[in-house]
Structure 1
């Protein structure tokens, strides 16, 4: 029976992988060379990894550029034992691709994304839009909503931001983030850092740390100077890690959530 458009077709393998066919046209490039050109990609979720990756039918991959890996890794990508090096124009990218052991995914090849793992293909496109870090999860939703809530942020008992005009960003699986206008943040208490991160849903963020702040982790504040159109409302606003600051919303103190970011948010010695 064909699936209705609103139904999901996520499937599970005995190895614990989740996978789902995608109807997006996906291309992967290394420099000017197109290595993947697929109209039949598959999204794959590995156990304990919150974001998906793509695997592609072998016939939609430039397999002539792949060589059996000289130094295949162990313990990576859910039991995968077959890895490939990517070689062209005299360059060699070790372990740039692999196959999963699951019978359901036989005949498919997955690739690393450079900005996610520091190796692999460096440009990816869904249709005509370039995407970064990892594929967008079709089960993930991100909404940026202007609000009139009263939001106050404190670090070590000091009020560092106070606003009645935040933008609330709701992202599946993460706590609500409060994006505050710059003029409502005591930005003089912070100093910019060289740190930056990329997000396939929001864009590229820059960061600030508390000046001389042993009471706060580094890179506690971030902003998207040029966010993606879907979240344009957060442009230039500042957000704080709920996991490491004290936030009060409409007079109610929020508990600090525990998230995958909590481990890296430790105050400086």
Structure 2
């Protein structure tokens, strides 16, 4: 048995990169071409990035589809100086892959999944399940628990939601999110938007923006109409960014947290 199949030790390199071997079978496809087919992936965490990405042994990557990058995005990934463009079926994706500078990762190639500015590979799979946005973090939990707490939400003093039957979503590294039945939310005070977001733990969310006055960022409200099975309890319920509204739980007004979403909300 390969030691990578059972090892769980995390290694931190002098560059501040943390990595650990993974045991999942990971594949990445561009159109009908399999670019990555790996049974020995490595999960990599870069400094100041909240989610991991994968790097793969060179032997498990179609290196014949990679070209030295014409315009390498130096500085985008921790210390990386070697970038590759990907060419499949005449389509070229710039800076689709790179090599981390750490000696123990030098024989691995990493691929961009999100925040690339365009689609790199069209589909990623862990075993037979398609994974979106970024790899799941094995050290992170997401639990959706029905509750009888009393939760109310205010925007500029207006109560926009009030319930005794929320579902509390606990996600490692983030504040508790309070999902509220639609019947207990004043959705008439909000306007649907075309914005969507994806999460490998929860699925695809749709959004609403506040219709009233005040300093409220857009897309402050969201819902998962078809969540992934692990968080099925939040289906169709409404959640608010704690970072931008006032939430009162069992009579206690919560502080507005500072999170990875604070900057994008303009807080």
Q: Tell me the TM-score normalised to structure 2 length.
A: 0.95
Residues 43, 7 of structure 1: CA spacing in aligned structure 2 closer, same or farther, 3 A cutoff?
closer
Deviation at 1:7, TM superposition (A): 8.0
Q: 1:110-139: per-residue Cα shift (whole Å, max 9, x none)?
A: 011257652411210000000011000000
Q: Is the 8 A contact 1:151 1:248 kept in 2?
A: yes
CA RMSD of aligned residues (A): 1.8
CA 1:28–1:213: 2 relative to 1, 3 Å: farther
Runs (4+) of structure 1 exceeding 3 A deviation are: 5-8, 114-117, 212-215
Q: What aligned pairs does 1:185-200 form with structure 2 within 5 A after superposition?
A: 185-200=185-200
Structure 1 counterpart of 2:39 = 39
Q: Which moved more, 1:154-163 or 1:104-113?
A: 104-113
- Displacement after TM superposition at 1:247 (Å): 0.6
Inter-partner Cα distance in structure 2 for 1:155 and 1:111: 41
Match of 1:87 in 2: 87
CA distance in 2, matches of 1:108, 1:117: 23
Distance 1:221 1:83, change over 3 A: same
Counterpart of 1:207 in structure 2 is 207
Q: Which residue of 1 aligns with 2:143?
A: 143
2:179 maps to what in 1?
179
Tell whether the 8 Å contact from 2:8 to 2:21 is kept in structure 1 after alignment. no
Structure 1 residues 116 and 141: alpha-carbon distance in aligned structure 2, compared to 1, 3 A threshold: farther
Pick closer, same or farther for the CA change 1:183–1:6 going to 2, 3 Å: farther
Cα separation, 2, equivalents of 1:236 and 1:206: 10
Gaps of 5+ in 2: none
| 1:106 Cα deviation after fit | 1.6
SS at match of 1:194: strand
Residue segments in structure 1 that go unaligned for 5+ positions in a row: none
Pick closer, same or farther for the CA change 1:83–1:7 going to 2, 3 Å.
Answer: closer
Deviation per CA, 1:139-186: give whole Å up to 9, x if none.
Answer: 000000000000000000000000000000000000000000000000
SS in 1 for 2:83: strand
If the length of structure 1 is used for normalisation, what is the TM-score? Answer: 0.94
How far apart are residue 14 of structure 1 and its match?
Answer: 0.8
Q: Which stretch of the first structure deviates more once superposed, 131-140 or 254-263?
A: 254-263
Offset, 1:88: 2.1
Aligned residues of 1:221 and 1:241 also touching (Cα < 8 A): yes
Contact 1:116/1:133 (8 A) holds in 2: no
Partner of 1:266: 266
Indicate if the aligned counterparts of 1:85 and 1:92 stay in contact, CA closer than 8 A: yes
Q: For residue 110 of structure 2, what is the aligned residue in structure 1?
A: 110
Q: 2 CA distance for matches of 1:130 and 1:33?
A: 16
